[in-house]
Structure 1
Amino acid sequence: MRISRRLSRISGGALLALLGGCGGGGSDDLPRQAISGTVTLDDRPLPHGFIQFQPVGAAGVATGGTVADGKYAIDRLQGPTPGDYKVLISSSSAPEAAAAEPLPPPGAPTPPKSDPIPAKYNSASTLTAKIEASNATPLDFSLKSK
């Protein structure tokens, strides 16, 4: 009985310590910057997509966000630190459009979805951005499908 109580107390204390360490403090003391801007494809706002900022070199913090109606915003808590970044942009179907697509028959391979955004803006991106401290200037990207 005594061992059982002691084990319960130790287990309970360990659980509390573990949970206490999982609190999302939200701050990592890095000089992160809030960034925002627009993304257009063929001079029209990108309806739905994703934007990623990957640091060039060892310094920096990778981050990303969603694009909706041609606009994106990444708050300071999730933003990049100052430095040079490679930018990757991809589109995504609107949730209602994706739901309307017919499913392939069971066992049939799912056909690959084509991205209207060329690889030079995503998987083989040539886009770059320089994030500066107190970056107040929007980072806009004008993409061409051809």
Structure 2
Amino acid sequence: MPELRIGLYILITLLLAGCGGIGDAPDRRIVTGTVTLNGTPLEGGVIRFLPQPTGPIAAGKIRDGKYEVINKGGVPLGKHRVEIKGTPILPDDTTGMSLGEMDAATKPAIKVPEKYYKDSQLEATVEAGNAPFTVDFELKD
């Protein structure tokens, strides 16, 4: 019986103290929005939110000018530097396609000016809340 009490005591202590797990992770929020380049929706790309000054990076795909960052609960709350880069656009359905067919059907990446990903000055501050947080970006050459 004393072993049970000791085990229970250890379990309660660990639960109260935490073990460096989920409780240490930053609070996050799903972020959605649109990305346009010279008034046209960015057909394909990637968007990255880099916490300032440091923290875990969150990223999502841009497709037809829309993005949604949902992985691991979304983007950590707070101020971020944002990077946006064009990527090649795969067909919607690649089922049964050979690598050569996929390559032929893939559209090349739209060139996004370096000022939006290399040393980007884009910023976003993600605030606490339950509904998705919306941030739109209008890029220009």
Calculate the TM-score normalised by the size of structure 2.
0.66
Q: 1:28 aligns with which of 22, 43, 48?
A: 22
Q: CA RMSD, aligned part only?
A: 2.5
Check whether the contact 1:35–1:139 (CA below 8 A) recurs between aligned residues.
Answer: yes
Name the structure 1 match of 2:104. Answer: 100
Instruction: Report the structure number with the largest CA radius of gyration.
Output: 1
Corresponding pairs, count: 107
1:4-43 to structure 2, matched below 5 A, reads 28-29=22-23, 30-43=26-39
Structure 2 residue matching 1:51: 3-state secondary structure:
strand
Q: 1:129 aligns with which of 99, 124, 128?
A: 124
Q: CA deviation at 1:118?
A: 0.8
Alignment gaps of 5+ in structure 2: 1-20, 92-100
Name the structure 2 match of 1:140. Answer: 136
Greater strand share, 1 or 2?
2
Calculate the TM-score normalised by the size of structure 1.
0.64
1:12-91 to structure 2, matched below 5 A, reads 28-29=22-23, 30-58=26-54, 60-75=55-70, 77-91=72-86
> Aligned in 2, Cα 1:133/1:47: closer, same or farther, shift over 3 Å?
same
Question: Aligned partners of 2:138, 2:41: CA distance in 1, in Å?
Answer: 9
Deviates more, 1:73-82 or 1:125-134: 73-82
